[in-house]
């Protein structure tokens, strides 16, 4: 963990999540929708222990990037659709999914597959941003940025959906059939505890942040330059840029669910 945590991060709830993760012996861990494996990095630093990690993602490009980052670590990355995994029943000691639920076309199918491959007594861990509750103006801009990105992905046929409320997430998780469900909330992501730039993130209005966000909006817009909806979205992009310049942006709050099979 970095020294000199900003006060906002210390009080965000992230430390309690870290403590909870520190009580879990991971064993053989499956990370679903792993992307470039960022959550695996967090788990390596926070779990009480682990034997191995398996990261799956439906995107070949993401798995290729993940493999490049973990060359010497005990991690196996596989291209696989989480709606129908090729793993055996009860194969993993721990299963997790981080920031991926709002990317899934069939949430129930993926959560039920995760349950199937989890050993009885094993931990099911979810990290996901949520859209309701008291969030700062800068966090609301982050959600608006996300929803702009969702709109563009949708126009391009890439599955990506608006973030859910805590209750909507809980409704999905309740259906899985887990025991001892515990929920934690944090206004900062747990990975911030290990990020050298965490101190900068207290200041959503810093120039480099604003410049980065404005470029991100332009880059997103560029992806649909040839699409008939391009004109309409220019106006939306300009309004979003004004909000970015007024409030900056900082990551939306996150909810963590822990349950056992
Ligand atoms: C925002 S990224 C995940 C970020 C990462 N887990 C983290 O915590 O930093 C969402 C990922 O879910 C993947 N995904 C979406 N649907 C999937 C599915 N049915 N099976 C496996 N991966 C899926 C996407 O390809 C994408 O890489």
DSSP code string of the chain: --SS--HHHHTSSHHHHHHHHTT-B-SEEEEES-TTTHHHHHHHHHSSB-SEEEEEES-HHHHHHHHHHTTTSSEEEEE--TTS--SPTT-EEEEEEES-GGG-S-HHHHHHHHHHHEEEEEEEEEEEE-S-S---HHHHHHHHHHHHHHHHHHHTT----PPPPHHHHHHHHHHHT-EEEEEEEESS-GGGGG-TTTTGGG-TT-HHHHHHHHHHHHHHHHTTTTSTTHHHHHHHHHHHHHHHHHH---PPPEEEEEEE-
Helix axis angle for 207-222 and 137-155, nearest 10°, is 20
Closest residue CA from atom 25 of ligand 1: 59
Query: What does pLDDT average to in each consecutive run of 10 residues of the chain (261 residues)?
Result: 86 96 98 97 97 97 94 91 98 98 98 98 97 92 96 95 96 96 96 91 91 96 93 94 95 96 98
Closest residue CA from atom 27 of ligand 1: 35
CA of 100 to the centre of ligand 1 (A): 5
Q: How far apart are CA 90 and CA 157, in angstroms?
A: 34
User: Which one of 3.30.1360.170, 1.10.600.10, 3.40.50.150, 3.30.230.70 gives the CATH number of domain 7-260?
Assistant: 3.40.50.150
Q: Which atom of ligand 1 is nearest to the CA of 38?
A: 9
Pairing of strands 52-57, 75-79: parallel
- Give ligand 1 pocket residues (Cβ under 6 A): 33-35, 38-39, 56-59, 62, 81-83, 98-100, 103-104, 110
Looking at the DSSP bridge assignments, the partners of residue 256 are: 127, 184
Give me the pLDDT at residue 202, please.
85
CA of 246 to the centre of ligand 1 (A): 31
Closest residue CA from atom 13 of ligand 1: 33
Give me the pLDDT at residue 136, please.
93
Give me the pLDDT at residue 3, please.
77
What is the rounded (10 degree) CA torsion for 128, 133, 136, 142? 40
Closest residue CA from atom 24 of ligand 1: 33
CA of 33 to the centre of ligand 1 (A): 3
- Global pTM reads 0.95
Helix axis angle for 38-46 and 14-21, nearest 10°, is 70
User: What ranges do the domains of the chain cover?
Assistant: 7-260
Q: How far apart are CA 256 and CA 143, in angstroms?
A: 18
CA of 248 to the centre of ligand 1 (A): 26
């Amino acid at each position: 963990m970095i020294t000199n945590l900003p006060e906002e991060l210390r009080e965000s709830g992230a430390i309690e999540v870290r403590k909870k993760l520190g009580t879990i012996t991971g064993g053989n861990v499956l990370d679903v929708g792993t992307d470039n494996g960022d959550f695996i990095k967090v788990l390596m630093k926070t779990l009480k222990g682990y034997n191995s990690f398996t990261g799956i993602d439906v995107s070949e490009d993401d798995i290729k990037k993940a493999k490049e980052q973990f060359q010497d670590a005990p991690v196996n990355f596989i291209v696989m659709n989480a709606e129908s995994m090729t793993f055996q029943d009860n194969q993993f000691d721990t299963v997790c999914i981080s920031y991926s639920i709002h990317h899934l076309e069939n949430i129930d199918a993926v959560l039920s597959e995760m349950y199937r491959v989890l050993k009885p007594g094993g931990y099911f861990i979810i990290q996901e941003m949520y859209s309701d509750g008291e969030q700062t103006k800068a966090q609301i801009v982050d959600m608006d940025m996300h929803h702009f990105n969702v709109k563009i992905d949708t126009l391009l046929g890439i599955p990506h959906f608006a973030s859910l409320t805590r209750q909507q997430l809980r409704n999905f998780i309740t259906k899985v059939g887990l025991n001892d469900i515990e929920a934690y909330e944090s206004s900062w992501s747990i990975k911030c505890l290990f990020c050298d730039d965490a101190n900068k993130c207290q200041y959503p209005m810093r120039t480099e942040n604003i410049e980065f966000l404005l470029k991100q909006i332009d880059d997103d817009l560029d992806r649909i330059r040839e699409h008939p909806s391009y004109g309409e979205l220019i106006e939306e992009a300009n309004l979003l840029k004004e909000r970015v310049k007024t409030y900056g942006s900082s990551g939306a709050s996150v909810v963590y669910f822990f349950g056992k099979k």
